[in-house]
Structure 1
Amino acid sequence: MGLLNALRLRGLFVKLVLMFVIVGFSALLLVSMVMSQFSSSRNESSIRDFLNGLDRQQLNALATGVDPRDRNACNALASKIFWNTVQAGIKGVSDFGVMFSDFYSGRLQVQIVDSQGLLCATLPEATPLLTKAMTEARQSPQPIPVYRDDEDWAMVTPVSLPNAANTQALIGFHYWSQWQLYDEIASATVYDYIRTFILIGSMGASVAALFVWRLYRRIKRATNAADQWADGDLRARIKDGSKDEFGRLVERFNNMADAISKSFDMQKALAISVERNRIARDLHDTAKQRSFVLGLKLTELEYEAQGHAPLLPTVESARRLADHLQQDLENVVSGFNLPAIADFGLYETLLRSVGDLLSGSGIQWSINWPQDTRDAFDSAPETAQELLMIMHEAVANALRHAQCHAIRIECKPGPRWHWNISDDGQGFDIGSAPFGMGLSNMRWRANTLPGGIITITSQPSGTSVDVSFKPPAAM
């Protein structure tokens, strides 16, 4: 199973092999082009040295007593010089014998010439390039001129003959790119070693450089994201679209960051809920109880003050203030003691909070929220908490001031979501209303939402608080 995973086309192993093959062929092509140029220059030098090294005394001895103007004698002399040259080449240049068959295609020729022109030549006829070279060599002052045609070249060396003035043998050699000539077998082995070393070295270095460079870039992106995570920014993600082993590892790290971020959000929401419950308990066990006792004492004092008419209005006013204080503390404790969103979700928390807040008030209430979007805030507990507190403040204001009979809460999904709390109460003049902490808190909470905007409208038929914001990330 491990072998099958390693051989999958998207695996690093296969990518490395494919890269090695591609780079290897590219390096082979490049090295071949370089070596071709090097071989051509080297072979040119080898043939020049070979022709310069011909035993001219031996060739002159072959021509002794031969009249080159005699057609048959001329042909025989040209043939002897041809074979003498071949034997010298077989001894001095390796692979010369292997390529000997190509000489029958006119790539090696001997011509006997004098001042009048060509006397005779070996068969078969020379190649066009070699023919041109032999013709121009008759007038060239160079000892061994070179004639080129793209990658092919021809070289001709003259050998003076002793029998007649201005009579000489022209030995012409046509090199073409398919030939591989080496001076000695030993030097050929060293040449192969050098070429193989260059080829393998270039392939290995190219593959290592490309592979390490690409892997370094991917690791660098992962390192940058990890540094951002360490700084507390869990929104950072490693960008890697590959599906190989490293890509799957990156995907797991991104999923881990998502899980940690969600866990931190849940822990934060839970910590807020725990702290609110603690404050609620402390207020309930201290200030609320003392305000209740204070109300009882003022009630007793009001009863005792029945016989003291001047004191009675002051005592009644103090008792009413105590009742208001106790109701305010009740509202505060109820607000702080909101059910935990992390435990129940925003929709269920709404039901419990509104039910507790309006219990015994006689006010009818309803929540209109599409069923398929009720879990949208599970991944955004901070947004949910702010919306819950805006709702609580708006409902509490309606309960205390609006003298309403019904309260309606709506959540409307769309390009921008809307969170609306409306009542059918007596309304108020927004322009002249004191800008208290309640309205200020609602505006502040709305501004903390993504793209949050709060709009408050009021008329004699009721008040509406509308908060619009960007959709939660889950949607």
Structure 2
Amino acid sequence: MLAASLAGTLLLAVLDLAGAGRELRRAFEPAALAPRMAREAAALGPLAGVDAGRQAQCETLMLGLLLRMADPELRMWADYDGMAGASRDGRLALRYRRADGSGCQYPARAGARLEAAMGAAAPGRPAGRLPDARPPGRWEDLTRPWTLAVAIHPPQEPGATLTLGMDARSPLSMLGRLTRGELLDLLCYLLIISAMSALTVAVLLVGRIRRTGRAAETWAAGDLALRINDHGGDELSRLSQRFDRMADALGEVIEVKQALAAAQERNRLARDLHDTAKQRAFALGLQLSVLRHLTGGQGEAQEMVQTALQLTSRLQQDLADIIQRFGATTIVEAGLAGTLRDSLELMLSGSGIDWSLRLTPQDEARLCARPDVAGQLLLLTTEAAANVLRHSGASLLEVDFACAGDRACWSVRDNGRGFDPDRGGGTGMGLANMQLRARALPAGELEIRSGPGKGVLVCVTFRMEPGANPDASQEEIPEGKQDEQMGCRT
């Protein structure tokens, strides 16, 4: 990372030099430079009185005029070229020539290339290797030097000639002329800037990379709930967002595979029970029937055999119920309403009990959004229906769902003979199972209401999770009216 930052900083420095070179060329284009030279010459006045024989006086006058003509571009060119004494090196010169050929020049001697260009220049005809307009970023901006000489007639002396010339180095050639000390200073500067850049980038990236690594380790451990949640706009952020989407897809695939595996296991258990335990119970019933016939009229033995036959019949019914539940359609396959209809149809078929289910598609979608809740309601309903089938003598079974505020009620009602709760008529394994399933729901509570001849109402109230029903009204409902709106009244 440090090497990349160093290379980047060096490249930026070179490109900055190229940009400075382009700015210098634009500033010294002949079309802009000639009018400025004429303006400064007019402001200085006639140069006819300059004594060409006194070189010091001439050079001082030319130096002052040069600075006026070149300012502020001279400083920009000096920074670009890297040497403030460019005129002393013969790469920046100003020459004054009268019509008779006399005059003076500063510096007294320029470089050969610049002398040739200044000798060839004439008013209205620049000379030298002229700078041209180029698109930014061209390689020539770094490697191509250029020479320019522009001549004018001073306004007060039409016969005289004033020539300004410069010989500009390329940025890369300037780097080759640096001293060892200047190279060390440049290297230290680049190292410091690169180290600071690398440290800044590392601080910004390391935390995000570590967060991504922790998420990957968590996913490898089997927990796909964690997300990276990097919402930046760079490549690392986009990669993290792809990882989050991958985790979502993997979670959905795993859920489907688990549901299919559970369904396959239930079907296997149902087949095994049907082929083994149920068949043996049937064989046991046949053996007991034969035994009852062999015992004849012996009273005590007959009673024991009859009791054993009744227990065997109950065992066969229990096994049939279990096999039916194992082989029933699952919520994942048919939804809560479809699974309930299949279960009730199979359980109550031929019993003479009419049944109804009131569950809107919207409510079903809300419940199926929580498969654990829907599964508990399904098992609780089949348990209640089995109790109605065995004990109530009812002719009608009603299953209903209602919701008010954040409380929901799932009720199972029958019109059977009922029982007296004060006399313990509602105890048993079935009731215990329903209480356990009710407590497994969010803030779940089970209430059973009944009376002799009044049927039984099984009502499970629980909390609907926030966000499960985004369209539901948030209006507060008085506590005393919630049961009435949810249908949990006898």
Are positions 1:212 and 2:231 aligned together? no
- Counterparts of 1:251 and 1:95 in 2: how far apart (Å)? 54
1:457 paired residue number: 448
1:255, 1:283 → 2: CA distance? 42
Tell me the residue number matched to 1:402. 392
Q: Is the 8 A contact 2:406 2:463 kept in 1?
A: no
Judged with a 3 Å threshold, the aligned counterparts in structure 2 of structure 1 residues 301 and 239 are, in CA distance, closer, same or farther, namely same
Q: 1:378 to 1:371 in 2, by over 3 A?
A: closer
Q: Which residue of 1 aligns with 2:406?
A: 415
| Kept in 1: contact 2:231–2:241 (CA 8 A) | no
Determine if the alignment matches structure 1 residue 466 to structure 2 residue 456.
no
SS at match of 2:350: coil
Tell me if structure 1 keeps the 8 A contact 2:288–2:309: yes
The percent of aligned pairs where both chains have the same amino acid is 35
Match of 1:275 among 265, 268, 290: 265
The one-letter code sitting in structure 2 at the alignment partner of 1:442 is: M
Residues 262-411 of structure 1: pairs in structure 2 closer than 5 A: 262-302=252-292, 307-308=297-298, 311-376=301-366, 380-411=370-401
Between 1:396-405 and 1:196-205, the stretch displaced more is 196-205
**How far apart, in 1, do the equivalents of 2:458 and 2:209 lie?**
54
Q: 1:96 to 1:323 in 2, by over 3 A?
A: closer
In structure 2, do the counterparts of structure 1 residues 384 and 256 end up closer, same or farther at CA, with 3 Å as the change threshold?
farther
CA distance in 1, matches of 2:401, 2:233: 40
How far, CA to CA, are the matches of 1:97 and 1:329 in structure 2? 107
Residue 458 of structure 1 deviates from its aligned partner by 1.5
Measured at CA, do residues 371 and 433 of structure 1 come closer, stay the same or move farther in structure 2, by a change above 3 Å? same
Contact kept? 2:438, 2:446, Cα under 8 Å: no
Name the residue aligned to 2:433: 441
Aligned equivalents of 2:270 and 2:457: distance in 1? Answer: 29
2:249 aligned with 1:259 = yes
Amino acid at match of 1:407: L
Counterpart-to-counterpart distance in 1, 2:353 and 2:387: 13
Residues 297 and 316 from structure 1, CA distance in 2 versus in 1: closer, same or farther, beyond 3 angstroms? same
Contact 2:394 2:417 in 1 (8 A): yes
**CA displacement, residues 85-139 of structure 1 (integer Å, 9 cap, x when unaligned):** x9xxxxxxx95898xxxxxxxxxxxxxxxxxxxxxxxxxxxxxxxxxxxxxxxxx
CA distance in 2, matches of 1:237, 1:206: 31
Where does the alignment leave 5 or more consecutive residues of structure 2 unmatched? Answer: 17-56, 64-82, 88-175, 470-490
User: What amino acid maps onto 1:337 in structure 2?
Assistant: G
Mapping 1:18-167, distance limit 5 Å = none
What residue is the counterpart of 1:131 in the other structure? none
Hey, what's the Cα distance between the residues in 2 that align with 1:269 and 1:240? Answer: 31
- The amino acid across from 2:459 in the alignment is V
Aligned to 1:203: 193
Partner deviation per Cα, 1:2-33 (whole Å, 9 max, x = no partner): xxxxxxxxxxxxxx99xx99xx99xx9xxxxx
Structure 1 residues 347 and 438, CA gap change in structure 2 (3 angstroms): same
The equivalent of 2:213 in structure 1 is 223
Residues 283/188 of structure 1: CA separation in 2 closer, same or farther (3 Å cut): closer
How many residue pairs match? The answer is 306
Q: 1:217 to 1:201 in 2, by over 3 A?
A: same
Looking at structure 2, the residues matched to 327 and 374 of structure 1 have their Cα atoms a distance apart, in angstroms, of: 31
Q: Deviations over 1:59-107 (max 9, x none)?
A: xxxxxxxxxxxxxxxxxxxxx9xx9xx9xxxxxxx95898xxxxxxxxx
Structure 1 unaligned blocks of 5 or more: 1-15, 29-79, 87-93, 99-185
Instruction: Tell me the amino acid that sits aligned with residue 444 of structure 1.
Output: L
**1:305–1:384 Cα change, 3 Å:** same
Q: By how many angstroms is 1:191 displaced?
A: 6.7
Tell me if the contact between 1:424 and 1:463 (Cα under 8 Å) persists in the aligned partners: no
| DSSP-derived class of the 1:427 partner | coil
2:231 to 228, 235, 241: 241
Query: What is the CA–CA distance in structure 2 between the aligned matches of 1:267 and 1:379, rounded to whole Å?
Result: 18
Query: 2: distance between equivalents of 1:444 and 1:326?
Result: 26
**Partner amino acid, structure 1, of 2:430:** G
Query: CA offset at residue 247 of structure 1?
Result: 2.0
Structure 1 letter corresponding to 2:274: H
Residue 277 to residue 473, structure 1, CA distance change in 2 (3 Å): farther
Q: What is the rounded CA distance, in whole Å, between the counterparts of 1:223 and 1:314 in structure 2? A: 70
For 1:425, the aligned partner's letter is G
Q: Please give the TM-score of this superposition, normalised by the length of structure 2.
A: 0.53
Residues 298-339 of structure 1, C-alpha deviations (whole Å, 9 max, x = no match): 445545656445654444333333322222222222223222
1:264-293 Cα offsets, whole Å, 9 max, x none, are 233333333322222222222222223233
Tell me if structure 2 keeps the 8 A contact 1:427–1:463. no
Quickly say closer, same or farther: Cα 1:400–1:307, change in 2 above 3 A.
closer
Looking at structure 2, the residues matched to 97 and 259 of structure 1 have their Cα atoms a distance apart, in angstroms, of 69
Structure 1 position 426 matched with structure 2 position 417: yes
Note closer, same or farther for the CA distance 1:283–1:395 as it changes in structure 2 (3 Å cut).
same
**Amino acid in the other structure paired with 1:293:** A
Letter in 2 for 1:267: K
> SS at the partner of 2:242?
helix
Q: Does the 8 Å contact 2:406/2:465 carry over to 1?
A: yes
Amino acid of the residue matched to residue 392 of structure 1? T
Q: Give, in whole Å, the separation in 1 of the partners of 2:233 and 2:409.
A: 40
Runs of 4+, deviation exceeding 6 Å: none
Measure the CA separation in 2 of the matches of 1:474 and 1:250. 28
TM-score (norm 1): 0.55
How far 1:468 sits from its partner (Å)? 1.4
Distance in 2 between residues matched to 1:401 and 1:309, nearest whole Å:
29
Is the partner of 1:374 in helix, strand or coil?
Answer: helix
Q: Is the CA contact 1:228–1:234 (under 8 Å) kept in the aligned structure 2?
A: yes
